[in-house]
Structure 1
């Protein structure tokens, strides 16, 4: 995701969550009209959505939607999962890779509004207002901060545009409301389903995701929990300065029969871990998160070669993932792939 500075990325990277369709089995989603023709039109407008302590009333489904960057693809992914991408007039979110076929291409095909992004690779105030949106989605509260040159919620209300931030990212600029879980990914889908008059489609995506996760979890039940190193090579100063700590990925790992030995109860999203600490930690598998990496498999093998004592190295047990480990609509893809990685041999 991620072209924004790392300090901002750490606020909303839960992301990635963040890309085209909801689960690995639903492609890139039908059009909004097709989704409604298949049994939607269930939202009773006006509908009021509570978001970050305020209420926002929608008289109809939005038709001029702007998606801010914020280092996430969770929001644009959810829009595509729900089949309402026809309402998007400008999208600033991108990742370049996806664990769902067709997702990266679907995101790339969305209009950008011809906006010149600011130094944070996001949409500045005047450009935002010029897009004449009726709905703006930011990945975190800072996306509506005047101090960083963005249109505020009040600015946007002044042109009759509603605004939204995923509930887990409400809070003061530079903070998150809590460590997200897969349930938070579902909450985003449900909110957008109501707003865009496709609540049935949202529940369908959620049901498919839950079914896939339940099947994967059942398959690993009773098997030993495996320690997983989740690492983001190239995102920090070196390979071990961007190791996953607190994040939605820990819920993903748990449901796949894994655990993160570097989870941080205090909520820090990324950790820097010394090679000495890594050498003395039992690591059963390595997951490299691919972001703008020309050779993610090479990165994984390089890490394993430094710690031949790990079970992960002895068994060459590694996996390359991208957007499915972040907050977003396809955590089921990651759960399924990780469960297979950790326990496919019956161990």
Structure 2
């Protein structure tokens, strides 16, 4: 993709920005847009828009899903993501992936945003934003490009760069509500949130009443140390609302690593594999079943290993369906 950094482009993209990354620019006409300005709270900071962004670039499948679920594909300049999109047959917005340009299968960069003439980049900390690649709301602000940070990824002021500021599904509902206000699709956002809350409530009503909750370990990747989900990653809420008990719920972070000794000591009843294609879910399962330290772990001994897509397990509109699918599996575990 050609990299253009012309003064003319920067002039077109020039925005007046505030908060943690974006007050979308306005001229005299856009300042008079009906219903604006709109201010939302993003990662604890106010974010003000004088008009609806019209050239949004998203990073990763879950963030594109958020835009598509709200019917906002016409507001997008494109999306950045690897080849793995999960099972698109399960989602109502499948056609949107063919309508919106796929800008890159590699990491999002400032050059991609500039080339797309983006007025807003929607990404998250370690979901595209990061100091190491010099792609942050602050660096985009200097280029006149606004930012919105995925709520699941908000930094929480803990040790290092730990993330998460609210229960994971509340993060989903927060972003849907915020996007509804930013783009004036409040009715659609409200309906989605209502439907998702009802879906998870229906699942909770079917959880066995005897108090037994199978313990569940989320396995993302890693052989020396496993990547897993702490209290602020979507799997914590998915597991809990499905009737399970997240093995690493005490880790006050979102996606993070733990030691295998923690897994062995806590002895999960079930392991959920996060499938994003490479390595395959089958390869991950083979590793778990053959890794000697796990030989006596209940989930391994009983071959209780369940697979969900990556797009199901990061903050996205696919989370409620993942709750339903996992709950169905956990009920079989409960009755064994």
- 2:284 aligned with 1:299, yes or no? yes
Where do 1:258-297 residues align within 5 Å? 258-267=244-253, 269-274=255-260, 278-293=263-278, 295-297=280-282
In structure 1, distance between residues paired with 2:152 and 2:43: 9
Contact 2:124 2:154 in 1 (8 A): no
Query: Where does residue 212 of structure 1 map in the other structure?
Result: 199
Q: Which structure shows the higher strand fraction?
A: 2
2:226 counterpart (223, 238, 241)? 241
Contact 1:241 1:272 in 2 (8 A): yes
Over 3 Å counting, the alpha-carbon distance change for 1:312 and 1:182 in structure 2 is same
- How far has the Cα of 1:333 moved from its partner? 1.3
In structure 2, distance between residues paired with 1:286 and 1:151: 34
Over 3 Å counting, the alpha-carbon distance change for 1:189 and 1:345 in structure 2 is same
TM-score normalised by structure 2 residue count:
0.73
Structure having the higher Rg: 2
Q: Gapped runs of 5+ residues in structure 2?
A: 1-33
- 2:89 aligned with 1:112, yes or no? no
Query: Where does residue 179 of structure 2 map in the other structure?
Result: 192
In structure 2, distance between residues paired with 1:315 and 1:141: 35
Query: Where does residue 139 of structure 1 map in the other structure?
Result: 124
- 2:74 aligned with 1:89, yes or no? no
Contact 1:74 1:327 in 2 (8 A): yes
In structure 2, distance between residues paired with 1:291 and 1:133: 27
Query: Where does residue 30 of structure 2 map in the other structure?
Result: none
1:152-203: CA deviation from partner (whole Å, max 9, x where unpaired): 54754764x5421134534489442536421111101111111122111111
1:257 counterpart (203, 223, 243)? 243
Query: Where does residue 166 of structure 1 map in the other structure?
Result: 150
Query: Where does residue 341 of structure 1 map in the other structure?
Result: 329
Q: Gapped runs of 5+ residues in structure 1?
A: 1-42
Over 3 Å counting, the alpha-carbon distance change for 1:94 and 1:211 in structure 2 is farther
In structure 2, distance between residues paired with 1:131 and 1:166: 20
Where do 1:17-32 residues align within 5 Å? none
Moved over 6 A (4+): 144-147
- How far has the Cα of 1:149 moved from its partner? 3.2
- How far has the Cα of 1:321 moved from its partner? 0.4
SS at match of 2:272: strand
Structure number with greater CO (CA < 8 Å, separation at least 6) is 1
In structure 1, distance between residues paired with 2:263 and 2:112: 46
In structure 1, distance between residues paired with 2:130 and 2:264: 43
In structure 1, distance between residues paired with 2:244 and 2:179: 31
Query: Where does residue 61 of structure 1 map in the other structure?
Result: 52
Name the count of aligned residue pairs.
292
